[in-house]
Amino acid sequence: MTNPLSGALEPDVPGFQFDLAVPTDARKSLAMAWLALGLLALLASGLFSVLLVLSRTPQLQTLFPVADFFRVALVVHVDLSVLVWFLAFGGALWTLSGTTRLQFMAWCAFALSALGTATLCVAPFVEPATAVMANYVPVLDGPVFLGGLMLFGAGITLLCLRSMLAASPVGVRISGAGALRFGLNAAMVTTAVAVAAFAWSWATVPQNIDARAYYELLFWGGGHVLQFAYTLLMLIGWLWLASSLAPSLKLSPRVVTLLFAIALIAVFLTPITYLAYDVTSVEHHRMQTLLMRYGGGLVIGPIALAVVWSLRAAPAPSSETRPLRASLVSSLLLFSAGGLIGFMITGSNVRIPAHYHGCIVGVTLAMMGMVYRLLPQLGFLAPRSRTAAWQPLIYGGGQLLHIVGLVWSGGYGVQRKVAGADQVLRTTAEVWGMGLMGLGGLIAIVGGILFLVIVGRSVLGARGAKA
C-alpha cells in the first residue's frame, strides 16, 4: 500500500485504504497528456458557459442573438464539459492503473481524441449548422462538428480497446488498490459498451426522420450507459479522496468490488434491451432509464455512507488536504441534491437540467479533487493556498444556487432548452428564479476559472522550481 499523498510504500491496512501509486515510467507522460486534454476542454467549455449563462439571465439576455447563439453555445459547452472532460480524465486514470503494453496504440488513441476535440471547438466558427438539443450528446448538425465527434469517438474506442489489453490484474486477495483497479476496469468496459450501444443505434435508427428525433434516438441508449462510467469514476474519486483524509474506511475492498460488479451487471443488461425492444420504442427508453436508476442507486448509497462516516473520524485537515476535503464534501452534496431533484421532476421544464446539473457537477467536483490529489504525484506542486481550499466551495455553491434557481423556476413551468423571450417569464417569481440561476451560474464560472488558475500555478511553479 502507498501513502495517499506521497506515493511512498507503507504497510498495508487491509480493507480500509483505497489508493493507487502513480507510476514514473512512460505511463506518467501519457496520463499527463490525457489530463491536459481534459483541462483544456474544461477551459474551452468555460468560455462558452460565460456567454451561455448571460444569454438566459434577465436584463442581460437581450444583448445576445439568443435564438441561435444560446443553442450553439449550449451544444459545445455540454460536449466539452461532460463528454470530453469526463472521458479524458478517465483516460488518465486508466493509463495510470494499466501496464505499459501497446504504448504506440495508446498515443494514437490520444491523438485521435485531441484532434476530435479541437475540431469540436472550431466547428461553430467555420460552418453554419443547426444546433440539435439531443440528450446526452447534443450536436451541431454539420459535417465539421459531426466529423470531430467521430474522431473523438474513434479515439475513445481505441483507448478502451488498448486499456483492456493493458489492464493490470486486480489480484486474488483484493486490497483497496485492487478494488480501485477493478472499478477503473469496470468504468473502461462500461465505456466500451456505450460505444457499442451508439454503433447499434446508428445501425438501426431510421435516417429519414426529423433530426431532433434521430439524434435523440441515436444517443439515448449509449448515453445512459455512459452515466454508469461517469458514476464509477466519481465513486473511485470519493474512495481515493476519503483515504487521503481519514485513516481508514469502514468498508471492505471486497464489498466495494461487489458493488462495482453490480453496476457492471446492470451495464451488461444493455444488449438485452436492444434485442428485446426496438430502439425507437417507448419500452426501450423506459428499460434504459430503469437500468440507470436502480443499477446506479444500489451502488452509490453504501459507498457514500461509508465515505461520510469516515469523514466524521478524520483528523483536522492540513493545508494540503483542505482542497481535497472541500472537493469531496461538495461533490457529495451536489450529487445528492441532483438525485433528490430527480424525484421532483414532473413534465418537461427546467427541473430536468437542475437534476442532471447536480449529478454532473458532483462528478466534476470529485474529478477536481482528484486532480489536486494527483498533481504532487505527477511532479507538480501540491495546491495548499486558501484559494485552493475555497475553490470547490465557490464552484459547488454557485452550482447549488444555479440548480435551486432552476428548481424554483421549474415549479412555475419554465421550459428547458430555451432562452430569451422563448422562456416566457410571466411573473416576478419566475424572473427571480432564473435570476438566481444566472447568479449561481456566474459564481460557478468564477469557481471553474479559479480551478484552472490553481492547476496552472501548480504546473508552472513546479517548472520554475526545476529551472
**Contact yes or no for 389/19 (Cβ under 8 A):** no
Burial profile 360-389: b = 16 or more Cβ within 10 angstroms, e = fewer: bbbbbbbbbbbbbbbbbbbebbbbbeeebb
Write out the chain's pLDDT in tens, 467 residues: 444 444 433 344 444 678 888 888 888 999 999 999 999 998 888 887 776 666 555 555 555 444 466 778 788 888 998 999 999 999 999 999 888 889 899 999 999 999 999 999 998 888 888 888 888 899 998 999 999 999 999 999 999 999 999 888 877 778 888 889 999 999 999 999 999 999 999 999 888 888 888 998 899 888 888 988 999 999 999 999 988 887 777 788 888 899 999 888 888 888 888 888 888 887 877 777 777 766 666 788 888 888 888 888 778 888 888 999 999 999 998 888 777 776 655 555 555 666 667 788 889 999 999 999 999 988 888 888 889 999 999 998 888 887 877 766 554 445 444 444 444 445 565 565 667 777 777 888 888 889 999 998 888 876 555 54
Q: How far apart are CA 44 and CA 61, in angstroms?
A: 21
The model's pTM is 0.85
Please answer whether residues 412 and 433 qualify as being in contact, where contact means their C-beta atoms are separated by less than 8 angstroms: yes
Q: How far apart are CA 84 and CA 76, in angstroms?
A: 10
What is the pLDDT, as a whole number, of residue 394? 93
Q: What percent of the chain has pLDDT over 90?
A: 31
Q: Give 2's strand partners.
A: 9
- Residue 80 to residue 360: CA distance in whole angstroms: 13
Q: For the chain, list the domains and their CATH numbers.
A: 1-50+78-314 (no CATH), 316-467 (1.20.120)
How far apart CA 201 and CA 218 sit, in angstroms, is 5
Question: H or E segment at 77?
Answer: helix 66-78
Closest Cα partner for 165 from 102, 220, 228? Answer: 102
* Residues 287 and 275 sit within 8 Å (Cβ to Cβ): no
Q: What is the pLDDT of residue 80?
A: 93
CB 81 within 8 A of CB 49: yes
| The pLDDT of residue 145 | 94
Q: What's the CA gap between 440 and 452, in Å, rounded?
A: 19
- 111 to 159, 243, 392: CA distances (angstroms): 10, 33, 31
